[in-house]
Structure 1
Amino acid sequence: MLKKIDRGALFLAKQQELFRCPNCHQKMSQKEKSLVCVNGHRFDLAKKGTLYFLDHQIKTEYDKEMFAPRGRMIRSGMYQPVIEKIADLMQTGNLLDVGCGEGSFLQQINQLKTNSVNIGFDIAKEGIYLASNQPFDAFWCVADLTNLPFADQSFDTILNIFSPSQYREFKRVMKPDGCVVKVVPQSGYLQELRATYHPDGEAYSNEAVIQRFTEELEIDHRERITYTFEIPEENRLDLLEMSPLEWQVSPEVKAGLAENPLKKITVDVEILKGH
């Protein structure tokens, strides 16, 4: 059984042409357990077989306490209809998952449609460390959405699930016949949780996000998927911890919901495919 760092080195040896230096935008090549560019910028594999492409530490509010429950909720089947639609829309080949978190979406998608190359990146290193434990063949890295460490025209599909977009970079790294598949929460998404956590909150809308997508890319498919998911008993507390919704919630509200957790939750998303 190969160590993670050795698996990472093998991946880099095979796929070094997919990367470019985030510092000077030059080609990179694999040297032992590192990627090095022609100007000498060097990025070393961590023990977990992951690469850190940032030149500074980033502190995010997304931590292990949030990523782990999120992964369990994804694996519980909560997003199965969404995952099936993504698998249906995407093009197989080289797949990039933008803001991949702990990797469960990418892992579930690959159970339905296998890709020759799977790369997931996130700005939160806690998510990437967890992703390195996923039981399938993928490469994980910490990178900046606005300065992707990937070569031009490298990916057949770019996945953008519940995460920010940077269309200039998406267009640069997408193959000429590639696509972007984006999942955007709609007005009913997690409405039961939102009603409990923020009862006086404003109506929820992502119309501006959808509008931006339609301005930046040619639309190939647009579909809204809405359903109610019955939460397995063992996952009901995970639901409370998987979302940024809980960040500003009082301990009293959290405690009340933990004692009497939600049994059902609404999933309401827009899925967009563009090129």
Structure 2
Amino acid sequence: MPFSCPLCHAPLSRREKSFVCPQRHQFDLAKEGYVNLLPVQHKRSRDPGDSAEMMNARRAFLDAGHYQPLRDMITDILQVRLSTQATAVLDIGCGEGYYTQAFADIAQQHGAQTLGLDVSKAAIRAAAKRYPQVMFCVASSHRLPFEDCSIDGLIRIYAPCKAEELVRVVKPEGVVITVAPGPRHLMELKGLIYDDVQLHPENSGEIAGFNVEEKQSLAYEMALSGPEAIALLQMTPFAWRAKPEVWEKLTATDEFRCQTDFSIHCLQRES
């Protein structure tokens, strides 16, 4: 397991139900099987990340299959690009594990371990309960608790992360797959909230220290029920700006049509 101590950065070793570093910093496994590697001094709030309510909305929406085409495209890329000698695959900002579980199926074919990281304790707890084949941790994507050059394949769906941290943890010639919103992503939803709807800026996918090997776009229209549209809104940063009448309109609707637009890039770490 390529974990490193979030306090002193030394390697962590597994000892029964905990991880311990040579400086005797100890991090116990929760009963669900995940480990919390987010020290109090690294938190920006008491309970950072998605709340339990937001996590439940995300799980309901994803379980309905609305983003399955995106998951299928990412797993197809990972299947082709992951080294046959891979030992570790990491999903940053994994949430409740919908995508991570699919990546684990690919990693297992290579005999590799799959790791999921999110700053939300509620999301990681739910993920660990449902997907025991993945090792989940609560941690910050800005301070990755992994050893240098320890990750063969890293997936980042919307999650922020410093380029230098990606360069540090990904092995030379390892792959990073990123997903960002395309220009017209969720335009109809934004139209309910903003008077002047702006397109998302084009994403080049470039990250210092990596070469862009592949770029793909994925766009399709979703037909959502009222509860599904509400769940989608709860998943987005638009929720904070939505007025009560927006929530009421979506709740009452029989069908809400909304387009997706994803920008997917596959990069390779420079050797």
- For structure 2, the residue ranges without an aligned partner over 5 or more in a row are none
Aligned with 1:132 (options 128, 132, 135): 128
Letter in structure 2 aligned against 1:203: Q
Shift of 1:236: 4.0
CA distance in 2, matches of 1:172, 1:215: 12
Letter in structure 1 aligned against 2:244: P
Structure 2 SS opposite 1:43: strand
Shift of 1:110: 4.1
1:62 alignment partner in structure 2: 50
1:31 alignment partner in structure 2: 15
2:251 alignment partner in structure 1: 258
Shift of 1:151: 1.1
Letter in structure 2 aligned against 1:98: I
Shift of 1:133: 2.1
CA distance in 1, matches of 2:196, 2:118: 29
1:9 alignment partner in structure 2: none
Task: State yes or no: 1:235 paired with 2:228.
Answer: yes
2:177–2:267 contact (8 Å) kept in structure 1: yes
Letter in structure 2 aligned against 1:271: I
2:118 alignment partner in structure 1: 122
Aligned with 2:97 (options 100, 103, 106): 103
- Give the number of aligned pairs: 255
Shift of 1:221: 0.3
CA distance in 1, matches of 2:196, 2:25: 47
1:224–1:269 contact (8 Å) kept in structure 2: yes
Structure 2 SS opposite 1:38: coil
1:141 alignment partner in structure 2: 137
Structure 2 SS opposite 1:132: helix
CA distance in 2, matches of 1:261, 1:61: 31
CA distance in 1, matches of 2:89, 2:188: 33
Shift of 1:213: 2.4
Shift of 1:99: 0.8
Tell me the TM-score normalised to structure 2 length. 0.86
2:54–2:234 contact (8 Å) kept in structure 1: yes
Task: State yes or no: 1:155 paired with 2:143.
Answer: no
Shift of 1:261: 5.2
1:95–1:155 contact (8 Å) kept in structure 2: yes
Aligned with 1:180 (options 176, 198, 208): 176
Against the structure 1 CA distance between its residues 110 and 28, is the aligned structure 2 distance closer, same or farther, given a 3 Å change threshold? closer
Task: State yes or no: 1:219 paired with 2:212.
Answer: yes
Shift of 1:230: 2.6
Cα deviation, 1:227-267, whole Å, max 9, x if unaligned, reads 11233676344223222211121212211221115432211
CA distance in 2, matches of 1:180, 1:197: 33
CA distance in 1, matches of 2:265, 2:69: 15
1:274 alignment partner in structure 2: 267
CA distance in 2, matches of 1:230, 1:134: 27
